[in-house]
């Protein structure tokens, strides 16, 4: 790998709560969500090349295609078109996050690709223009591009600063059953919720969990009807000593649990991993700002 290779981390996006607050005439649902990021991440690497190519490696590489419809390639082509530069880069995606799992893996990969090729090609689009380009790639790409805890509204295009969030140990669990977002929204029923942005900064993980307990994820019931294992995951997390809050992220099927202490999170992850070897289980940490997250070599 050349010394000029550009690396960007693509951290897991966590919807700490998610309220469905309405629906537009075109069918898209309007959301109110507090979004943060976990330290566990994919990695995107970009190097100079004569053409645009993509190689995929990592534990979940087999679940992805490296063909032209991959979001990483689409992001690179979109930026090249917008910047008026030739789309030339050898891209490598190290895929550590499960696919179609409610933690924004594909969106985070696309955002990381935008940042990586912008650096490689030495182009600097205006932030508003880059965010608009990101939205065309997917509703979650703009918040992943920002890489900071945020209140997300609209269909994902409205991103407002969130109060500072405390570092918090967490455990992420996925049953390794892909759960496409459109299927969950289609299965959702019931009234719409009201927005409930955090009014003040939580002092610590326990304070954060108490604030989140007054909110919810409005997609959980619909997701559980499609993938009943989500209920088993939530029960397993809630049963672990030290669990402050267990909840599904995004449209599922990944769930998370907050803990006050890192050793409690590690013990919970080890216990669940031993009991359910077919699940993806990671002890990680909640981070309010992912900009300083150093990607692992890949």
Give me the active site residues, please: 13, 140
Residue 148's SS3 state is strand
Closest CA to 121 of 259, 4, 284, 204: 4
The sign of the torsion formed by the CA atoms of 224, 230, 236, 237 equals: negative
* Dihedral over alpha carbons 95, 96, 101, 104 (to 10 degrees): -70
- Rounded CA-CA distance 102/180 in Å is 9
Listed in sequence order, the residues at least 6 apart from 292 whose beta carbon sits closer than 8 Å to its beta carbon are none
**Which class for 74: exposed (0-12), middle (13-18), buried (19 or more C-beta within 10 A)?**
middle
């Amino acid at each position: 790998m050349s010394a000029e290779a550009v690396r960007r981390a693509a951290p897991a996006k966590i919807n700490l709560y998610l309220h469905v607050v309405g629906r537009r005439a075109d069918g898209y649902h309007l959301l109110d969500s507090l979004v943060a990021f976990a330290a566990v991440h994919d990695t995107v690497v970009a190097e100079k090349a004569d053409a645009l190519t993509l190689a995929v490696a990592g534990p979940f590489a087999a679940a992805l295609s490296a063909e032209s419809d991959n979001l990483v390639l689409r992001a690179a082509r979109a930026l090249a078109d917008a910047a008026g530069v030739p789309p030339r880069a050898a891209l490598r995606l190290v895929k550590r996050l499960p696919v179609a799992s409610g933690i924004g893996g594909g969106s985070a990969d696309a955002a990381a690709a935008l940042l990586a090729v912008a650096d490689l090609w030495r182009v600097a689009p205006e932030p508003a223009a880059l965010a608009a380009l990101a939205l065309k790639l997917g509703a979650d790409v703009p918040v992943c591009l920002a890489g900071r805890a945020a209140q997300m509204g609209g269909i994902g295009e409205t991103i407002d600063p969130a109060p500072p969030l405390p570092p918090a140990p967490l455990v992420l669990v996925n049953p390794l059953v892909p759960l496409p977002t459109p299927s969950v929204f289609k299965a959702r029923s019931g009234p719409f919720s009201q927005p409930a942005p955090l009014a003040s900064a939580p002092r610590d993980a326990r304070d954060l969990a108490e604030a989140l307990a007054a909110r919810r994820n409005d997609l959980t019931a619909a997701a559980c009807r499609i993938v009943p294992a989500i209920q088993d995951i939530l029960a397993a997390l809630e049963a672990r000593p030290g669990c402050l809050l267990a909840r599904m992220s995004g449209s599922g099927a990944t769930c998370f649990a907050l803990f006050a202490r890192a050793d409690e999170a590690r013990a919970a992850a080890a216990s669940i991993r031993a009991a359910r070897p077919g699940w993806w289980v990671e002890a990680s940490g909640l981070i309010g700002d992912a900009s300083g997250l150093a990607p692992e070599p890949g």
